Amino acid sequence: MRKSWDDYFMDIAKEVATRATCDRKLVGCVLVKEKYIIATGYNGSVSGLEHCDEAGHMMVNGHCERTSHAEANAIVQAAKHGVSTDGATAYITASPCWGCFKLLASSGIKRIVFGEFYRDERIFDSAKKLGIELVDHSEKK
C-alpha cells in the first residue's frame, strides 16, 4: 500500500533531523507546497559557526542557544532562495515551540503536521484563532 502524503513527508522530516548538530533534541522540518518540498531545516548553529557537537552547548536558562531551530532554518532557507512559504505545510518531527510557531504563522504556513508534542500548549489556541490546521502525526503511528 502506498504511503499517505503526511507519512511520506514526515519520514523525510525524520531523515532531515539526522543532520541536526545539537544532540539535546534532533528536529527536522520540511516545508511543502502543492506536494513539492520547498525547503528543509534542522536544528543547528549559524552557518559557518561551530556546532554543539564540535564546541559543546551554549546553555542559557536551561536552553541551548548555540542552535537555531529546524523551523526557523527551513524558513530562512526558503527566504534565501526566494521561495514563498505562503499557504505551505510544515512537517516537523516535534511540535513547534512558541517562537517557531509565531515564525511559521507569520510566514503564511497554513498547516502544521508534527511528530511529538514539545512543551508549548499555546500553539493550539493560537492556531485555531489563525485558521492554521495542526495535525498530531504521533497518533498515526
Return the pLDDT at 139: 73
Return the pLDDT at 24: 87
pLDDT digit string (tens) for 66-122? 899 999 999 999 999 999 999 999 999 999 999 999 999 999 999 999 999 988 899
Q: What is the mean pLDDT of the chain?
A: 94
Residues with catalytic roles = 71
Residue 141 has pLDDT above 60, yes or no: no
Residue 140 has pLDDT above 80, yes or no: no
Return the pLDDT at 26: 93
Q: Is the pTM of this model over 0.85?
A: yes
Distance CA 106, CA 92 (A): 17
Phi, psi torsion values for 2, nearest 5 degrees: -75, 140
Contacts of 100 (CB under 8 A, 6+ apart): 69, 70, 71, 72
Residue 53 has pLDDT above 90, yes or no: no
Mean pLDDT calculated for residue range 39-43: 96
